[in-house]
Chain A
Amino acid sequence: DAKTTQPPSMDCAEGRAANLPCNHSTISGNEYVYWYRQIHSQGPQYIIHGLKNNETNEMASLIITEDRKSSTLILPHATLRDTAVYYCIVRENPGEKLTFGTGTRLTIIP
């Protein structure tokens, strides 16, 4: 079973920051938070992952709360191509397979 809880859907205006929340209240100390997204009919695309500290790459930023029970994925300037289902996954690294939930369907509105 997925260890995360995400809202089923969200809208965001094009050009604005999209903030996608994720709850993972049962996360253990050696588990990472991973984010993937899936654009319609394509395979999941890796976005970012983190353990304790906030992380940033060319795609997004990941903010993890100090108690690690929740996190937020931030897409700083959303474009129409960011419309996708976003999955937040808790995973022990390395070794474990990814267990997907149902994710958040993010729609970017022109």
Chain B
Amino acid sequence: DTGVSQDPRHKITKRGQNVTFRCDPISEHNRLYWYRQTLGQGPEFLTYFQNEAQLEKSRLLSDRFSAERPKGSFSTLEIQRTEQGDSAMYLCASSPGHRISGNTIYFGEGSWLTVV
């Protein structure tokens, strides 16, 4: 079973450095979502794609954050000039995106970021 895959699973970086996370969704899933989760809180929506189009961005997604899904398959989330407040788990999720197959969203295991 090929679920949503995220890489790396853990990243420790120094403040001010750039980091990039990769997400491979479930095959043939059109929609791809990014969430962020800090300790003790539920996941918070960041952005989502329908194929290669980025359709919605949360106000949480500051200008230091950029997400891409260039060919409508895998996606990357880049954080520039990291700050300690960026320390969190970054979750990727995907869904079929159409009524016939349903639209249940499935999550990956997350990428943990620690900014020191």
Contact = CB atoms under 8 A, between A and B. Distances in A.
A95 B103 contact: yes
Interface stretch (B13-21, B70-78, B105-113): B105-113
B42 A101 contact: yes
B103 A98 contact: no
Contacts, number: 52
Interface in B34-74: 41-45, 48, 56
A43 B97 contact: no
B48 A102 contact: no
A102 B105 contact: no
B45 A44 contact: no
Interface residues of A, number: 22
Given A95-B103, A98-B105, A99-B45, A43 B98 contact: no
Interface in B84-106: 89, 91, 93, 95, 97-99, 102-106
Interface of B: 4, 33, 41-45, 48, 56, 89, 91, 93, 95, 97-99, 102-110
